[in-house]
Amino acid sequence: MLSTPNQTLSIELWEELGSNVQRVDGGLHLPGTLRRRNSDHGLAVDYMEPNTWDSALRNSSRLALPAPHLRELQEPIDIVYTWVDGSDPKWRARMNNTRDKVDQGTTEPSSVSESRFTSREELKFSLRSLEYYASWVRRIFIVTDQQIPEWLNTDHPKITVVDHRDIFSDTGVLPVFNSHAIESQLHHIPGLAEHYLYLNDDCFFLRPTRPELFFTANGLSKHFRSIVPIDVEGWGPRDLPIISAAKQGRHHLLSRYGRTVTHRFKHTPHSQLRSVLETMESEEPELFARVAASPFRSPEDVSIPSSLHHFDAFARGQSVEGQIGYQFVDLSAADLELRLLRVARRTDLDVFCLNETTLREESEESVDHLVARFFNARFPVPSSFEVGFRSSKSPH
């Protein structure tokens, strides 16, 4: 079943061969062999003999191989989300109390913007997209600050809610409201796989994916370089946190490896190697401790999993550049409705990000309406991660 009217099926034609048909690799085909009419798609086989086809029909229409393919990653992959509900009065009281104690001169103004903590149930729909298109994940960890989404089925065998207090090396720095600080501690999650994807809840899968989109078959991580450059100047007060963090990461790469970079990374699921992060922290504990102790975003922050990990893993020979179908949509765009419509109709996207920078208060209601309509049209089937889910059928 297709999950939206915009999705399509690809039909490939095979022909049944008669007697005395030559094989390209020598000899004759057995009568009744099925042969692909086009052999330029890189699949495992170009023809199937009658016994092989019969076996595939008995095996859920899949070609049975004697062992896992060498080009397929066999290691488990976990997912890590960070999530916050900015409307929670207890959470908001903690944030306001912390903000009153912090020197505002060291805090970037956008770091306390309402838009950073607004929830439009993105996590619910991101999890739906995950179950639709990346059901191969082993476990899903949702990192929060003493919060649990009311719709989340915490009894689901794949779901684990992780509190900040369970992963921060120094719990004395809590509470923090800085995504850079929280991200710096994710590799401390108990039971986390060596290979995992880190996602913000504003990332969504749009078509069936394979683990090899994010990791090579022999276990290297993949990073996805953006076309957006990092300007050559050092960080300054005019830079937004995302820019200053990229510049700080570049400075780290220069000082540690004598190399530099010119571009940022796409806002996609970030492929992570836990062992790389553990090694990085053991070599530079002061860096991790400093970022973790920053309660709000600061120009001195480094984005460890979504930037520094990729730089460092690549320099160590443990990451390669990958390719991914990706689109970024800014909720403050004047033509937001058109952009969402384009995303809904495209079939070449693996993932997309629905991000909010600054949004005028008078625009919030219309944006909320557009986003809710898009979510419910694009991801209409509840996932098994939601309370009350009873269907045993696959959403696709």
List, as one string, the DSSP characters of 355-396. Answer: E-S---GGGHHHHHHHHHHHHHHHS-SPPTTBTT----S---
Domains and their CATH numbers in the chain: 1-66 (no CATH), 77-378 (3.90.550)
pLDDT of residue 396: 47
pLDDT of residue 279: 98
184-215 in b/e form (b: 16+ CB < 10 A) is: bbbbbbeebbbbbbbbbbbbbbbbebebebbb
What predicted TM-score, i.e. pTM, was given to this entire model? 0.84
Residue 64 CB contacts under 8 Å (≥ 6 apart), including other chains: 55, 56
Q: Tokens 């859920």 label which residue? A: 60
Look up residue 136 and give its two tokens: 């191969």
Vertex 360: Cα angle to 355 and 366 (nearest 5): 75
Torsion of CA 276, 279, 284, 285, to 10 degrees: 110
Closest CA to 136 of 189, 197, 216, 52: 197
Torsion of CA 336, 339, 345, 348, to 10 degrees: -140
Amino acid at 117: F
The DSSP code for 338 is H
Closest CA to 139 of 81, 85, 183, 98: 81
Query: Are 17 and 32 within 8 A, CB to CB?
Result: yes
C-alpha to C-alpha distance for 45 and 34, rounded to whole angstroms: 10
C-alpha to C-alpha distance for 391 and 382, rounded to whole angstroms: 9
C-alpha to C-alpha distance for 208 and 48, rounded to whole angstroms: 25
pLDDT of residue 65: 73
Per-residue pLDDT in tens (0 to 9) along the chain, 396 residues:
565 555 567 778 889 999 999 988 888 999 999 988 876 555 567 888 888 888 777 776 666 677 888 889 999 999 999 999 988 999 999 999 999 988 766 565 555 555 556 678 999 999 999 999 999 999 999 999 999 999 999 999 999 999 999 999 999 999 999 999 999 999 999 999 999 999 999 999 999 999 999 999 999 999 999 988 888 887 777 777 778 888 888 888 888 888 888 888 999 999 999 999 999 999 999 999 999 999 998 888 889 999 999 999 999 999 999 999 999 999 989 899 999 999 999 999 999 999 876 656 667 889 999 999 999 999 999 999 999 876 555 444
The DSSP code for 133 is H
Q: SS3 for 13-54, per residue?
A: CEEECCCCCECCCCCECCCCCEEECCCCCCCCCCEECHHHHH
